[in-house]
């Protein structure tokens, strides 16, 4: 009996700890690792990040989502994507540019949401202009012109209810909504936050505190 009590005395705390860890991971936050260049300069390859599951989705939020069934190339890690540690390569990290009901367009080197030029000070001028072009159709674009090449939502005018338009910060290499369309809310894992000791103060602010 004493042996059983002794065993239970250390087994039960371990089980409780594992249960708490699983609940935290499932409902509060999880840890991830950036893989690839598509969010440079603000998130770099192999950088560790936190993904908060209950955070509000806003303009400028950096999010992790499961691209399976959204990007036809999601199962092929082609170097553009970024994934969670231990994932199958279908978890991407991008920035929310437009919310449900928004219009989006790229005109004269700037991104417009609902016909208003947005603040993109989190990336440099070159990335804002030439990097934001749609390489399959260089020049200005809007949702309708982009969606002609998408597998779904062809002819879209606005972002549909419950979906989001996302782009990587390193626009010239990012595989994002310009190429395959919107991200449904139920595919979004959570909002990215960086650690206080990682990179520079400005880069952390560009990820943690954006809301234009």
138-166 pLDDT, tens digit each? 789 999 999 999 999 999 999 999 999 99
| Amino acid 16: pLDDT | 45
How wide is the angle at C-alpha 167 spanned by C-alphas 165 and 171, nearest 5°?
Answer: 150
Question: What does the pLDDT average to over 42-57?
Answer: 92
199-212 pLDDT, tens digit each? 899 999 999 977 66
Q: Got the DSSP string for 34-91?
A: --SSTTTTTS-TT-EEEEETTSPP-TT-EEEEE-TTTSTTTTS--SS----TTS-S-E
Q: Is the pLDDT of residue 130 over 90?
A: no
Of 38, 61, 147, 174, the catalytic one is: 38
87-112 pLDDT, tens digit each? 446 899 999 999 999 999 999 899 99
55 is catalytic: no
| CATH of region 2-208 | 2.10.109.10
Q: Are 59 and 211 in contact, with CB atoms under 8 Å apart?
A: yes
Q: Is 107 helix (H, G, I), strand (E, B) or coil?
A: strand
Q: Is 135 helix (H, G, I), strand (E, B) or coil?
A: coil
| 148 class by beta-carbon count within 10 Å (0-12 exposed, 13-18 middle, 19+ buried) | exposed
Q: Is 117 helix (H, G, I), strand (E, B) or coil?
A: strand
Of 94, 174, 177, 203, the catalytic one is: 94
Q: What is the pTM of this model?
A: 0.83
193 is catalytic: no
What are the residue boundaries of the structural domains of the chain, listed by start?
Answer: 2-208
Question: What does the pLDDT average to over 5-22?
Answer: 52
Residue 163: enclosing H or E segment and its boundaries? strand 163-167
Q: If you average pLDDT over every residue of the chain, what do you get?
A: 84
How many Å apart are CA 199 and CA 160, to the nearest integer?
Answer: 35
């Amino acid at each position: 009996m004493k042996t059983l009590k002794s065993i239970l005395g250390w087994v039960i705390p371990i089980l409780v700890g594992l249960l708490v860890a699983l609940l935290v991971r499932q409902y509060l936050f999880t840890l991830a690792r950036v893989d690839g260049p598509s969010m440079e300069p603000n998130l770099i390859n192999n950088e560790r990040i936190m993904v908060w599951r209950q955070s509000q989705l806003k303009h400028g939020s950096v999010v992790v989502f499961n691209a399976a069934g959204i990007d036809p190339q999601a199962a092929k890690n082609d170097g553009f994507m970024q994934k969670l540690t231990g994932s199958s390569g279908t978890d991407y990290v991008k920035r929310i540019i437009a919310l449900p009901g928004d219009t989006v367009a790229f005109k004269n080197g700037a991104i417009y949401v609902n016909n208003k030029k947005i603040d993109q000070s989190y990336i440099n001028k070159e990335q804002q202009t030439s990097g934001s072009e749609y390489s399959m159709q260089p020049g200005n674009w809007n949702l309708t012109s982009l969606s002609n090449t998408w597998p779904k939502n062809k002819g879209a005018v606005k972002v549909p209810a419950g979906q989001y338009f996302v782009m990587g910060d390193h626009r010239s290499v990012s595989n994002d909504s310009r190429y395959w369309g919107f991200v449904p809310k139920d595919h979004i894992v959570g909002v990215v936050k960086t650690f206080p000791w990682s990179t520079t103060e400005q880069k952390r602010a560009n990820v943690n505190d954006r809301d234009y």
